[in-house]
Structure 1
């Protein structure tokens, strides 16, 4: 049972040896781990002593990390604005609107997060004017730094994706390559499902493996519909000089994969024990019903979330 917390303030621990500070913090809250507390206090320790200068340095380091995040988010926002302007001269198709909408959601989320981190950091930075727990101050600063680093990664990745989108927007070959890659991934997914069906038929796969393959197979029609919608947009965006051969080849591959997926559904149903249908039937029907609510362009992050939920129910 944890003892009642009596938070030790920053001022009470300045000049105290780190080992003694660890003992004191663990004693006042025995749910704390001494090793974890020691690692936390390392950020505000000089030569084994808690010092005001080390605390200020930790505050400064956190502010610099946060400043980097703010800059990267700003750059991502600038890249998004440039992409919006470039998209104005492109055909008004769903594929363009969906990509811009996804970028806007990520950038606005990053802006809100970095603003919240800034407010938290501002409160923590005023530690000399407030009576604040040293442990909470340092863990708060580490949380801000960690959050800012995560925002920086998201902003950098998003800026790169926006730059790739601009290439996609203005280059027919890039659009063909991306769509061809999507079809390749879809084909590989079907290959994996087919392999599971063979393993089940040979008695080398479990009911859980069959269920997972059945779930994944139910996403295939949605993938095909999404790719076909994308192909329609690629046709609309294609320059007059573009050959239709590559687009026709993609269409043929999608037709072939569609037929293969339909046949595989019967194959998977046929190799399963009756008890498996009884055990998993309602969950498969529920997942299929959920997928019916999705429209193109598909939010694949949302589909993946539903897939994970269906696996865990």
Structure 2
């Protein structure tokens, strides 16, 4: 018998051992353990029984409540960060980050709001519904609640880090310096990739062509990273001067060096391209360029990731 998929014709599993109930629900040996673990959710002493549903629901509800609490705390932390940022609310560097946090929290809250509905759905079917379907829904809502809790916890960590960045000028410089280090590494990796491209391979669907197209995408994103870090440096200088501190002194020269190296890499990418490669990928790369033009500093990198994913040159099937 294949796995039951709905409650339209429920199989009476009440009173069966977990092993016997699993045999009824599924005949796929590869999924046997998964189904057995699911049925164990509504079992007592190795026997599937409707009386176990209340306990399983109580456990799931506790996980959901924990997730809801963590989301609530995340919202409070965001409010605190927004208040801390009011003194520099005129800085785009800060407002963009606050907006990204707000969008992230909204997404987490949307996922959280679905959890209560899922619990109510199980409650509505607990008296007469298929026990396997009940167990499967309980498992799903428990897993979903755990994921929401994890997302809320990660969000809280990011907010704490952001508040530390807001209040500590030295930390802001340290993080900018780390971003510049990462940028330099990205340019070095691009340079190494360019050196691997073999000349004379004109096949537009070859591995070399795909590598070149991917490198062109990364090259365009690096250009945006350089512009973004220059804008961040300028904003931090203004911020530091407003507070009477000493602005960072050596980052601009490093950015100049990185930009020079990046320009060389871009030239090599252009010269290494076979005509067939450019003919194959020009339209896609041009569309990406047009989309990235709208992503001026300060950059919302989640938006950039979405744009890159949408316009990423893909191999023909």
Normalising by structure 1, report the TM-score: 0.88
Name the counterpart of 2:15: 15
Equivalent residues in 2 for 1:7-156 (5 A)? 7=7, 9=10, 12-26=12-26, 33-90=31-88, 92-129=90-127, 131-156=128-153
How big is each residue's C-alpha offset from its partner over 1:83-102, in whole Å with a ceiling of 9 and x where there is no partner?
11111223520111111111
Hey, what does 1:222 align to over in structure 2?
224
Aligned residues of 2:85 and 2:94 also touching (Cα < 8 A)? yes
Cα deviation digits, residues 85-134 of structure 1 (max 9, x gap): 111223520111111111111222222221221121123134445x3222
CA distance in 2, matches of 1:183, 1:263: 18
SS in 2 for 1:13: coil
Query: Aligned partners of 1:46, 1:70: CA distance in 2, in Å?
Result: 28
SS at match of 1:298: coil
Separation (CA, whole Å) in 2 of partners of 1:98 and 1:81: 15
CA 1:5–1:198 in 2, change beyond 3 Å: closer, same or farther? Answer: closer
Give the conservation status (yes or no) of the 8 Å contact 1:76–1:159.
yes
Q: Flag the 1:113–1:294 CA change in 2: closer, same or farther, 3 A.
A: same
1:165 is aligned to 162
Instruction: Structure 1: give runs of 5+ residues left out of the alignment.
Output: none
What runs of 5+ residues in structure 2 fail to find an aligned partner?
202-206
| 1:63-88 CA distance string (max 9 Å, x none) | 11111101111111111111111112
Whole-Å separation in 2 of the counterparts to 1:306 and 1:263: 25
User: How many residues are paired up?
Assistant: 307
Is the Cα–Cα contact under 8 Å of residues 226 and 298 in structure 1 kept in the other structure? yes
Pairing 1:283–2:280 present: no
CA distance in 2, matches of 1:297, 1:123: 44
Note closer, same or farther for the CA distance 1:150–1:203 as it changes in structure 2 (3 Å cut).
farther
**What is the deviation of 1:226?**
1.2
Q: Distance in 2 between matches of 1:287 and 1:237?
A: 33
**TM-score, normalisation: structure 2:** 0.87
RMSD over aligned Cα, in angstroms? 2.8
Conserved 8 A contact 2:67-2:148: yes
Q: Which runs of 4+ in 1 moved over 6 A?
A: 1-6, 202-205
